[in-house]
Structure 1
Amino acid sequence: MKRRQWFAFSAAGALLLSAGAALAQSYPSRPVKLQVPFAPGGTTDIIARVISEPLGKSLGQSVIVENKAGGGGIVGASETARATPDGYSLGVATVSTTATNPAINPKTPYNPLTDFTPIINIAATPNVIAVHPSFPARDYQGFVNELRRNPGKYSYASSGTGGIGHMLMELYKSMSKTFVTHIPYRGAGPALNDTVAGQVPIIFDNLPSALPFIKENRLIPIVVAAPQRLASLPNVPTFKEVGLEPVNRMAYYGILGPKGLPKEVVDKVHAGTVAALKDPAVRRRIEDTGSVIVGNSPAEFAQQIKAEFDVYKKVVDTAGLKLD
């Protein structure tokens, strides 16, 4: 390489390093948006609002939660993918937006493995099938027997087509040889509202958003997707216990940004989230929802996203699942 070219490359490298250092020192200099790709009231919204205030304190700027529902999370996730990679527009990553929806929907306008910068997985949560109290069964065996006796009679609500509730219920249906009609909503909040009101008899939802209604006996839990029985629902079996281990998958809620997010920004948001998760009050609020704190590294979260996408892509291909 010629001496002049070497100096030019060295100067360019020095400029990039100094720009990165300056960004690390100045970021954030204004409020940061944390996009929730679902309507208010669901688990994604709950986790985002629990973490936003302490994360904002760690960063020294407000972290503002914004909801952008639609397409089972695709609309909001697409907005995050298209955002300027400067750290001021982040999003909450879920299994629905980074695994199940892209796995089942070939028209998803982003690649979950290449169009985002994973930062941290905040928490993992169980999932639950619950029914309205008017449903003629209150335990798993009665539930599955009722569905088999009356194929097509019942419907179930989910947070949206291609979401984790939709995909897991469809997998459950194929494995249990039952048929229930899917009613997709623009988020878990609206889906829960209609199920609690008796408009839809069944819901497959993340536990944190359904648990308050279960505790009030406004919903009856039937079976959970969790590593073992939950302390909050000791009498409710897991899918593994009823012989359906492939359905026994938890959800996750993490923070990501658009691709190309500078490492300095990633490191700062990651450190701020880890600091927030060390606060006993924050941990308690998350764990009280039935969730498990994760707080992994950006590389570990990226590997987790890929692993979940691969699992659901195989589910879609094996079961021949199609969009409604």
Structure 2
Amino acid sequence: MNRRPVLAALASLAVAPLSLPVLAQSYPSKPVRVVVPFAPGGTTDIIARILSERMGAALGQTVVVENKAGGGGIVGAAELVKAPADGHVLGMATVSTVASNPAINPRTPYNPLSDFTPIINLAATPNVIAVHPSFPARDYRTFLEVLKKSPGRYSYASSGTGGIGHLQMELYKNLAGVFVTHIPYRGAGPALNDTVAGQVPIIFDNLPSALPFIREGRLIPIVVAAPERLAVLPNVPTFKEVGLEPVNRMAFYGFVGPKGLSREVVDKVSAAARRTLEDASVRKRIEDTGSLIVANTPEQFAAQIRSEFEVYRQVVEKQKLTLE
């Protein structure tokens, strides 16, 4: 019997398992890009930048945020799908990119349940309907009366067609029996700018990006999507309080990688993010925006994405929503 092939095979088997930890230890070997699928200034951008500033120390490499806006988050998410699955390009996943947009847009160029590798849900945030100070309402009851008296007269801004702001506001319109024209933007930042400037009278936005303008009196909060009334907005009711519980859903912001990302890389990114979120100053900055820290496991985040997508798929079907 020729023992050389057998010995060679055994040697290869012995070496193969040892290579995996070496690969994990060498990651990251260069700066890590985090693709934010919206314009600067929105909540997704805020959360990503707070994390990236400190997470580089935990990873041992610089973490750079890159904004790739367009299509209600589709453009940036689609770029991540095409990236090498080596962990050097990560993305910020939101309800818009992995649930509401794919649920309403049959042309979404990726499958939110199979084309990404969930890593960690970083934070969740309330959503808010807010109006420009010139709008003839300061509370929800009056807001609803104004919209019902003048169907089609007013418009609202969102971060983009198919995004969570669009879909939740459309759900609100259907359930409340009002008609407001949708004005989509390439991210929450531009939508906020035009609403604060009075170009659009209403906005459906994530609270963290809208809150600074609310505190300055440049936007008036009307109703929020949150589990209960918020300490920062104690006089503003939730959608559940006004009888619209299906609209009472929060947004989330988490790290995902391209499909096929190794478990070793997933665990390293997840651990670095968790370590960063344990920093009191980081937690405070995130919580000061009105967000809640989540920091769940990859499995929990994957289940959350599946659940949220199914909720919005049913919303689109039951409310007969289509792209404008």
Do Structure 1 and Structure 2 share a fold, with TM-score over 0.5? yes
Structure-1 separation of matches of 2:48 and 2:8 = 45
The alignment partner of 2:146 has SS state of helix
Which residue is 2:54 aligned to?
A: 54
The alpha-carbon distance between structure 1 residues 138 and 27, as it changes in their structure 2 partners (threshold 3 A), is same
9 and 45 in structure 1: CA distance in 2 versus 1, 3 angstrom threshold: farther
Normalised to the residue count of structure 2, the TM-score between the two structures is 0.97
- Residues 20 and 262, structure 1, Cα contact 8 Å, conserved in 2: no
CA–CA distance in structure 2, aligned partners of residues 37 and 132 of structure 1: 26
Q: TM-score, normalised by structure 1?
A: 0.97
Specify the SS of the correspondent of 2:200.
coil
Matched, 1:319 2:314: no
For residue 277 of structure 1, report the CA deviation from its aligned partner.
0.5
- The residue identity in structure 2 corresponding to 1:91 is G
The alpha-carbon deviation at position 7 of structure 1 amounts to 8.2
Q: Does 1:178 align with 2:178?
A: yes
How far off is 1:301 after superposition? Answer: 0.3
Matched residues in 1 for 2:210 and 2:296: separation?
A: 26
Counterpart Cα distance in 2 of 1:5 and 1:228: 68
Amino acid at match of 1:218: R
Cα distance in 1, alignment partners of residues 38 and 30 from structure 2: 24
Contact 1:101 1:163 in 2 (8 A): yes
- 1:168 partner letter: Q
Looking at structure 2, the residues matched to 168 and 206 of structure 1 have their Cα atoms a distance apart, in angstroms, of: 11
What does residue range 135-284 of structure 1 map to in structure 2 within 5 Å? 135-284=135-284
CA deviation after TM superposition for structure 1 residue 306, in Å: 0.3
Note the residue ranges of structure 1 that are not aligned, 5 or more in a row: none
Q: Which runs of 4+ in 1 moved over 3 A?
A: 3-16
Residue 23 of structure 1, CA deviation: 1.2
Following superposition, the deviation at residue 12 of structure 1 comes to 6.3
Q: Which amino acid aligns with 1:95?
A: V
Partner deviation per Cα, 1:116-144 (whole Å, 9 max, x = no partner): 00000000000000000000001000000
1:93 and 2:93 aligned: yes
- Cα distance in 1 for residues equivalent to 2:89 and 2:301: 19
Task: Give the whole-Å Cα distance in 1 for the aligned partners of 2:303 and 2:4.
Answer: 42
Structural mapping, 1:59-98, within 5 Å? 59-98=59-98
Q: Percent identity?
A: 71
Shift of 1:55: 1.0
Cα deviation code 1:93-134 (max 9, x no counterpart)? 000000000000011000000000000000000000000000
How big is each residue's C-alpha offset from its partner over 1:185-213, in whole Å with a ceiling of 9 and x where there is no partner? Answer: 00000000000000000000000000000
- Kindly state the Cα deviation for residue 22 of structure 1 after the two structures are TM-superposed: 1.3
Counterpart mapping for 1:7-22 below 5 A: 14=14, 16-22=16-22
Q: Distance in 1 between matches of 2:312 and 2:13?
A: 41
Q: One-letter code of the match for 2:144?
A: V
The CA RMSD over aligned residues, in Å, is: 1.6
1:5/1:312 Cα in 2 relative to 1: closer, same or farther (>3 Å)? farther
Amino acid across the alignment from 1:270: S
